Structure 1
Amino acid sequence: MFFIDTIETESLGNRSYLAGGARTAVAVDPPRDIDRVLAAAAARGVRISHVVETHVHNDYVTGGLDLARLTGAVYLVPVAARVSFARTPVADGDTVSVDEDITLRALATPGHTPHHTSYVLEDRGAVAAVFTGGSLLIGSVGRPDLVEPRLTEELARDQHASAHRLAAELPDETPVLPTHGFGSFCSSSQSEGDATTIGKEKSANDALVKDVDSFVAALLAGLDDVPAYYAHMGPANAAGPRPVDLSAPPLTDAAGIAERLAAGEWVVDLRNRVAFAEGHVAGSFNFEAEGKIATYLAWMIPWGKPVTLLAESPAQLAAAQRELVRVGIDRPAAAATGTPGDWIPTGHTPRSFPRATFADLAAQESGPDVVLDVRRDSERAQGWIEGSVHIPVHHLHQRLADVPAGTVWVHCAGGMRAAIAASLLDAAGRDVVAVDDSFDAALEAGLPLTAGS
């Protein structure tokens, strides 16, 4: 009898899997923090005999090499993937025995990458599930534009063919278990639901209901921004990531924080946006630990720049550190816990700025000086506040000079990115108001909106 455990990394929109039988198991697309995989194996009382990658990942640093080294597992990587470490290459049709009567069969499914490979789990010769990585997702497919721009259309066509291969070769009742698609930017679009089968996808997935030309046209037209840190993930995974280090970073104090700010380093306050707005270290940036800190900090920070983390507790610090190693920000330069009173030199006062709603914005009698929309292009295209300036939050740090003079009312779709943007503007000495509200409330507040497409 087989089992399949899901190891979810919700913040990155990804899932890894542990599957096997009574004694041994395979880990599929493991995360960088492999202690979670080891814990799942220990809970099952199984040994990890194989570690497999569906592809060289572009959105997170894999824990596969480290996990294979630590457990002595066979490390399976698609044969065409160009990597710099010893592994067992796997080709289309290859099978491995995971446990008694349980096998894993490789199925070439190029599209997300040229070498992408799915894995069919079989129990006593019957198909039990398919691990589709970045190929067939829930209602979508993995995006084809992360490898090389000149290959994008070709890979989009490959995605269509791979989806049809999976649909043709596997029973309708086969559970489809993708790695991406639960909020990951590796997905070409986002769909509702967290479980699906081959049969369900046949009736709902564009790759299976549209002809190839229509599918490719729609897929390419709908591609959104790519986080900047993705450019570093593929090379890191191909070179072979270092073992993860989650030990506590060196602690610093108010004087040390001031020195790091003066040196131009990034000091990141992990507290929630309400607490940050009420009082914070001048020059610090707010990336909430409870938000998508890995995605947005890694997207915006100049790659390799030292970062100091300010947390309200050791637990918050440890959780953020775990998030960041998943995207290659391995070691904070320093850290501090407590409150702004602990982080600001004697004689200095905390910075603060107001928060507001869209109703507050609408109530400005003479109108605000500047309304700054920091949503992505695709969100802006659906509609915007008339007269607002648009700079996506991931471009703002490089475009602060493009923000017009005056008090800046900054908004996004829900408040988190507006808080990041407000902290950047505040650190630059601008007067700012963070609109902490759902964009749906803008219309209800009576603000003049321009309808999008």
Structure 2
Amino acid sequence: MTVEVSVLATSSLGDRSYLASDGRVGIVVDPQRDIDRVLYLAGERGVRITHVVETHLHNDYVSGGLELARLTGARHLVAAADDVRFDRTPVADGDEVAVSGALRLRVVATPGHTFHHLSYVLDEAAGGDWRPVGVFTGGSLLFGTTGRTDLLGQRHAHELAHRQHASARRLADLLPDGAQVWPTHGFGSFCSASQADAPESTIGRERTANPVLRLAADDFVTETLAGLDAYPAYYAHMGVTNAAGPAPVDLTPVARADAAGLRDRIAAGEWVVDLRHRRAYAASHLAGTVGLGLDGPMSTWLGWLIDWGVPITLLAETPEQVADAQRELVRIGIDRPAAQATGQPEQWAAGPGQLRELRTADFPALAAARAGRTPAGLPDPDVVLDVRMTNEWRAGHVDGAVHVPLPELPGRLADVPGGAVWVHCGSGYRATVAASLLANAGREVVVVDDRFDRAEAAGVVLAPAD
């Protein structure tokens, strides 16, 4: 018998969920809230879901575990020490859970990412004995890194980092080199201390590649805590929602807004979000909107930037794109957008003068402009604004630039010096978001739609790394 472990990637949030099965019954690990994906995969495999497993109470997304267990009748395994307000199967360190005659789970306490974090060793029957196939590590041992330890507050970060080190060592001591490692975080999620360094891994590889298994405890703690940057503000709502028991999702279409309705929503200070690609947004968009393209981590940045609970209206070219955005938003607890509109900007404008464009440039143009040769049609760069995160800034930045991380920009627009602003990030995605916020505040702005790693070669002078 061969165990099959299928990955359900949620690239927009940088996470993975899993379906493990013996061909008849299946285990689902850390499911996202839109559980139809899991149900479809299980049906395609001809597998009956008997166990839904949570490694921890998640901070970066709303879990689908409770609803999946309700719909399938599966046992819902949650740490006994977690204070939750719904019925579940409480599990703790040392428990063994029989899944079938061919599969079992062993529960291993791996505190660090949270105090009550669990990992689950997956064993398969082999010649009358059990053989470990791999381990579902959630936010504990990741690919080349670990889960961050400050999500429960800075006062706990140091202690949890020490526990994270001990937990990773425990898994490495418990399992053979060939055992697979199946983490939930590390693929773009802000729940990881740094990003994964490989698409897959084993315990043996982690012994040589992962700092947590190479460094002494104090060195690991110091290095890990020094490398942590800010994490999304909406995380404050996820743990509370997951402990209370998330409600089922509603992905049916929301009400449509006409041009007059869009104008009224913008005037009322609501968020009207344009989901088109940033270059389409730059070419023409409805004034007062924010450009957050579906081609990037839209839900992460939207959830981080808004005041929680503010009404959100979605603009897109097609209904399918709105549906995709709704799916992304329910994963972080934004259940029902206020309205939607589809088509092109001309259809969203209630009158003349309501469409706007954003001027764009690249790093060669910025270098030329700073040398006194500003390309035609663009204003001189009075301010170069860097909206990347603090760790990115410290690794190197444009000499003389002003730094305001994108999550801080809505509350710090007044901190941006006067004059024409040329704004950049690492690729152009965040810069477009920032430019739309600046333009909505009446600023003259140019988007540097280019990769930062091309800046120096383009002639832009960089300050030394901190």
TM-score class, shorter-chain normalisation, is over 0.9
Match of 1:205 among 207, 210, 226: 210
- Stretches of structure 2 that go unaligned for 5 or more consecutive residues are 374-379
Matched to 1:222, the amino acid is G
Matched to 2:188, the amino acid is G
For residues 393-445 of structure 1, give each alpha carbon's deviation from its aligned partner in whole angstroms, at most 9, with x where no partner exists. Answer: 11111111111111110001111000000111111111110000111222122
The aligned counterpart of 1:147 is 152
The aligned counterpart of 1:236 is 241
- Following the alignment from structure 2 to structure 1, what is the Cα–Cα distance between the partners of residues 295 and 323? 12
Is 2:326 the partner of 1:326? no
For residues 339-373 of structure 1, give each alpha carbon's deviation from its aligned partner in whole angstroms, at most 9, with x where no partner exists. Answer: 01110013344111211011111222175111111
Is 2:285 the partner of 1:258? no
Matched to 2:122, the amino acid is L
- Following the alignment from structure 2 to structure 1, what is the Cα–Cα distance between the partners of residues 366 and 168? 47
For residues 260-292 of structure 1, give each alpha carbon's deviation from its aligned partner in whole angstroms, at most 9, with x where no partner exists. Answer: 111110000001111111111110000001110
The aligned counterpart of 1:25 is 26
The aligned counterpart of 2:117 is 116
Match of 1:247 among 229, 245, 252: 252
Is 2:180 the partner of 1:175? yes
- Following the alignment from structure 1 to structure 2, what is the Cα–Cα distance between the partners of residues 447 and 87? 57
- Following the alignment from structure 2 to structure 1, what is the Cα–Cα distance between the partners of residues 123 and 454? 50
The aligned counterpart of 1:434 is 447
SS at match of 1:443: coil
Q: CA deviation at 1:148?
A: 2.8
Q: Do the aligned partners of 1:21 and 1:100 also contact (CA within 8 Å) in 2? A: no
SS at match of 1:444: coil
The aligned counterpart of 2:169 is 164
Q: CA deviation at 1:99?
A: 2.3
The aligned counterpart of 2:57 is 56
SS at match of 2:442: coil
The aligned counterpart of 1:93 is 94
Is 2:287 the partner of 1:267? no
- Following the alignment from structure 2 to structure 1, what is the Cα–Cα distance between the partners of residues 103 and 395? 48
- Following the alignment from structure 1 to structure 2, what is the Cα–Cα distance between the partners of residues 159 and 389? 36
Q: CA deviation at 1:190?
A: 1.6
SS at match of 1:216: helix
Q: CA deviation at 1:100?
A: 2.4
Match of 2:456 among 425, 436, 443: 443
Q: CA deviation at 1:27?
A: 0.5
**Which stretch of the first structure deviates more once superposed, 184-193 or 245-254?**
184-193
Is 2:412 the partner of 1:418? no
- Following the alignment from structure 2 to structure 1, what is the Cα–Cα distance between the partners of residues 327 and 339? 15
Is 2:388 the partner of 1:375? yes
What is the aligned residue count? 453
Is 2:465 the partner of 1:452? yes
Is 2:414 the partner of 1:401? yes
- Following the alignment from structure 1 to structure 2, what is the Cα–Cα distance between the partners of residues 83 and 141? 25
- Following the alignment from structure 2 to structure 1, what is the Cα–Cα distance between the partners of residues 148 and 197? 17
Match of 1:195 among 200, 208, 211: 200
- Stretches of structure 1 that go unaligned for 5 or more consecutive residues are none
SS at match of 2:332: coil
SS at match of 1:11: coil
The aligned counterpart of 1:222 is 227
- Following the alignment from structure 1 to structure 2, what is the Cα–Cα distance between the partners of residues 132 and 448? 43
- Following the alignment from structure 2 to structure 1, what is the Cα–Cα distance between the partners of residues 101 and 255? 47
The aligned counterpart of 1:4 is 5
- Following the alignment from structure 2 to structure 1, what is the Cα–Cα distance between the partners of residues 367 and 210? 41
Q: Do the aligned partners of 1:20 and 1:99 also contact (CA within 8 Å) in 2? A: no
SS at match of 2:411: coil
Q: Do the aligned partners of 1:254 and 1:344 also contact (CA within 8 Å) in 2? A: yes
- Following the alignment from structure 1 to structure 2, what is the Cα–Cα distance between the partners of residues 420 and 320? 16
Change (3 A) 1:349 1:266: closer
- Following the alignment from structure 2 to structure 1, what is the Cα–Cα distance between the partners of residues 115 and 163? 8
TM-score by length of 2: 0.96
Q: Do the aligned partners of 1:356 and 1:434 also contact (CA within 8 Å) in 2? A: yes
Q: CA deviation at 1:390?
A: 0.7
Matched to 1:196, the amino acid is S
The aligned counterpart of 2:79 is 78
The aligned counterpart of 1:391 is 404
The aligned counterpart of 1:294 is 299
- Following the alignment from structure 2 to structure 1, what is the Cα–Cα distance between the partners of residues 100 and 135? 17
- Following the alignment from structure 1 to structure 2, what is the Cα–Cα distance between the partners of residues 387 and 6? 45
Matched to 2:111, the amino acid is P
- Following the alignment from structure 1 to structure 2, what is the Cα–Cα distance between the partners of residues 362 and 423? 23
SS at match of 1:141: coil
- Following the alignment from structure 1 to structure 2, what is the Cα–Cα distance between the partners of residues 431 and 57? 40
- Following the alignment from structure 1 to structure 2, what is the Cα–Cα distance between the partners of residues 261 and 51? 42
Q: Do the aligned partners of 1:244 and 1:330 also contact (CA within 8 Å) in 2? A: yes
SS at match of 1:423: helix
Matched to 1:225, the amino acid is A
SS at match of 2:193: coil
Matched to 1:259, the amino acid is D
